[in-house]
């Protein structure tokens, strides 16, 4: 009932979009996060939509050009499917309760298992790019031109070379837009996903928005 009232209200007053957004931060070790100076950025998406990962990579690479980098972030575009995709809900970083709350310790367990199963490849990535940390960005996103909406879930995890977790953050958004152009709808989706990640990286002083 609340959702119906909200959408009707938005339409009545002519809002461009209606959005249902939530954010949950389970781990944030600020003093340690500020010490990282060269991070890799790895995107992880569903194995059933590899094209989605490619599109998010392109969008992130383009958006990153708008920032000065205090942390020399290296986008890791080449990675095995074991690193870059998840097969089921049990493989995801965000382990959710029935009422959509992030279960901190179950999520940590899923992340630790993922790191352990891919330890050798992660060690090679750290060594090859001389990284002191990795930003793992897991995204599940979709959109519909017919229904005029997009939604996403994004989980950000930051680890050091010893696989210690310094940051664990989950966010989700469902937005209904008055837009029937597919390219524009995709752009709104990618901007929303990127904003969540970059807001955190700016907060940690890894990035500074370039002045026009």
pTM across the whole model: 0.85
Please tell me the predicted confidence (pLDDT) of residue 128: 96
Please tell me the predicted confidence (pLDDT) of residue 68: 95
Q: Mean pLDDT for each 10-residue chunk of the chain (212 residues)?
A: 34 48 90 95 83 83 92 93 87 87 93 97 97 95 66 91 96 76 76 87 93 76
Domains of the chain and any CATH numbers: 20-209 (3.40.50)
Estimate to the nearest angstrom the gap between the alpha carbon of 42 and the chain centroid: 10
Residue 144: beta bridge partners? Answer: 149
Q: Which of 35, 36, 7, 32 shows the shortest CA–CA distance to 20?
A: 7
């Amino acid at each position: 009932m609340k959702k119906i009232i909200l959408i009707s209200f938005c339409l009545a007053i002519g809002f461009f979009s209606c959005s249902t957004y939530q954010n949950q931060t389970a781990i944030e070790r600020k003093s340690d996060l500020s010490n990282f100076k060269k991070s890799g950025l790895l995107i992880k998406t569903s194995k059933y939509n590899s094209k989605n990962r490619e599109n998010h990579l392109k969008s992130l690479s383009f958006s990153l050009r708008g920032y000065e980098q205090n942390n020399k972030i290296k986008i890791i575009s080449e990675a095995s499917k074991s690193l870059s995709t998840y097969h089921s809900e049990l493989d995801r970083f965000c382990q959710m309760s029935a009422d959509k709350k992030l279960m901190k310790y179950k999520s940590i367990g899923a992340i630790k298992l993922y790191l352990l199963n891919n330890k050798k490849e992660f060690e090679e990535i750290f060594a090859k790019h001389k990284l002191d940390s990795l930003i793992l960005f897991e995204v599940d996103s979709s959109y519909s031109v017919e229904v005029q909406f997009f939604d996403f879930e994004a989980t950000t995890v930051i680890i050091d070379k010893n696989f210690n977790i310094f940051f664990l953050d989950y966010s989700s958004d469902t937005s209904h837009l008055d837009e029937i152009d597919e390219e524009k709808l995709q752009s709104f989706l990618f901007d929303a996903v990127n904003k969540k990640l970059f807001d955190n990286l700016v907060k940690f002083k890894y990035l500074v928005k370039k002045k026009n």
